């Protein structure tokens, strides 16, 4: 037990002593530096993104474009938006569920992924999984990207 305390004390003391050698911090490390919290330089602190962890235009465009579907959950830091089953009144025997992944903080086409699940009613009234046309997912992604670009242009003015 004494050995563990001694080793921990030496480790902490050496970390503090080495951290004091930094020219960026003339008075040594801060608590955040020692325990891994916070940016270590002013430039890093200024570049840290505040707010949501994904592109705000893609986030808004997704919520706006798919607003006709019931929203189940939204994680603005992880970039995942889940929608519940939606059935078009013109085709009541099929329904769709969507999950949208926003993968980047930049407004790019590869920063967006839409995943659809489709079910159809069989003769007994049970919902059965069905194949989704890949073009439908692509069309939704394009609609969201178009809306995001419009939001971006409107903010630039």
Give per-residue pLDDT as tens, 90-105. 999 999 999 999 999 9
N residues, the chain: 157
Kindly state the average pLDDT of the residues 20-45.
51
pLDDT attached to residue 45: 42
32-41, 60-69, 148-157: segment of lowest average pLDDT = 32-41
Distance, in Å, from the CA atom of 112 to the CA atom of 115, rounded to the nearest integer, reads: 10
Residue 38 near residue 47 (C-beta atoms within 8 A): no
Torsion of CA 84, 89, 90, 92, to 10 degrees: 70
Q: How confident is the model at residue 46 (pLDDT cuts 50, 70, 90)?
A: very low
Helix 134-156 with 56-65: angle, nearest 10 deg? 120
pTM > 0.85: yes or no: no
Distance, in Å, from the CA atom of 115 to the CA atom of 138, rounded to the nearest integer, reads: 10
Look-up of token digits 């891994």? 36
For residue 44, CA distances in Å to 31, 47, 82 come to: 17, 5, 32
The fraction of the chain above a pLDDT of 70, given in percent, is 68
Question: What rounded mean pLDDT belongs to the chain?
Answer: 81
pLDDT exceeds cutoff 90 at 47: no
Kindly state the average pLDDT of the residues 137-155.
96
10-14, 23-27, 78-82, 150-154: segment of lowest average pLDDT = 23-27
């Amino acid at each position: 037990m004494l050995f563990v305390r001694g080793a921990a004390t030496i480790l902490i003391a050496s970390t503090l002593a080495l951290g004091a050698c930094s020219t960026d911090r003339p008075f040594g490390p801060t608590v955040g530096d020692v325990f891994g919290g916070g940016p270590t330089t002013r430039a890093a602190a200024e570049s840290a993104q505040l707010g949501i962890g994904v592109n705000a235009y893609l986030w808004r465009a997704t919520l706006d474009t798919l607003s006709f579907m019931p929203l189940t959950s939204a994680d603005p830091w992880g970039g995942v938006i889940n929608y519940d089953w939606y059935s078009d009144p013109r085709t009541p025997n099929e329904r769709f569920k969507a999950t949208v992944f926003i993968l980047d903080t930049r407004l790019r086409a590869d920063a967006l992924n839409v995943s659809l699940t489709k079910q159809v009613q069989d003769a007994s009234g049970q919902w059965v999984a069905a194949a989704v046309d890949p073009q439908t997912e692509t069309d939704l992604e394009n609609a969201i990207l178009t809306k995001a670009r419009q939001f971006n242009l409107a903010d630039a003015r």
